[in-house]
Structure 1
Amino acid sequence: MREHDMLEKEEIFSKVLRAGRRTYFFDVRATKADDYYITITESKKFTEEDGSFHFKKHKIYLYKEDFGAFKEILDEMTNFVLNNKGEEVISERHQKDFRKFFSERTEEAETVLVSESFTDISFDDI
C-alpha cells in the first residue's frame, strides 16, 4: 500500500464519548482531494450467554456542505427533547426504581386529577 493511501485512512482529529454499552467515535478524516469530512461511529457491545462478546458498529459520514443543516436540525431536536422532558434520564435501564417511581407518579397524578376534577355542588345552587 502506498504511503499516501495509508495517510488518507488516518484520523486528523478524534474524540471519543463512552456512554454505557455504547461508544461514540467522532473523527475528522480527509478526502482524496485533501478536504475534510466527519465520521460519527456508534459502537455497541453485545455479550453472549457464554460470556463472549461482539460489537455492532454504525457509521455516519458527514460532509462540509451538510454541516449547517445537520447542526440546525440536531440543535432543534435536542432542544425539543430537553424542553419537553428535561435533562433527567427516566428509563428502566438508567433508573433501578423506575417502575416504583413511575407507579408513584401515576398514583399522584390520578389523585390530583380526581381531586381537581370534583367540585362540591349544592343542589340549592341549582
Structure 2
Amino acid sequence: RNMSTIPVLLLMFLGTSCPSRAARLLDVLFEWKEMEYAFPSPSARDVLVKTRAYIPGNSIPIDVDVWEQGNGDNQVFVTIPRFKPGVPATLTTVVLGEDGLAKLLPFPDWSWHREGNCEGLTSVFRVH
C-alpha cells in the first residue's frame, strides 16, 4: 500500500481504565494524508525533492509524545526513523504552517538532521 494514501493520525491517549472508555477519550490533535515538513522556504523544499533528500510519502511516524510544559503551551514530538530514503528529519515537533496545516519542524533544528553527520541525529525511534 502507498503510505501517502493512508491518513496518519496523531492521537493523545487520555484514559486507560478500559478499552471502551479509552476509545471515547481519544482526541485527534493533528492529521495528514501525507506528512509534510516546515521547510525554510518553498525553494528549499524544491531542492530537497530534486536531490531526493525529501521523498514525499516516505516519512512514516513511529512514536509520538506530548511534552506538557505546565503553562498550557505543549509540544508534540514525532519520531520518523529513516527506514526509507528521503526522510529529511527524524525527530520533529508539530507546528501550524502559514496555511493552517500541521507541519513537522525538525528538532532542535535542520542542522541536526544532515545525512552522514555523525554528530547529529541519525534515526530516532522513540521518545519518552
TM-score (norm 1): 0.29
TM-score (norm 2): 0.29
Structure in which a larger fraction of residues adopt helix: 1
Higher Cα Rg: structure 1 or 2? 1
Give the number of the structure with larger relative contact order, counting CA–CA contacts within 8 Å between residues 6 or more apart. 2
Structure in which a larger fraction of residues adopt strand: 1
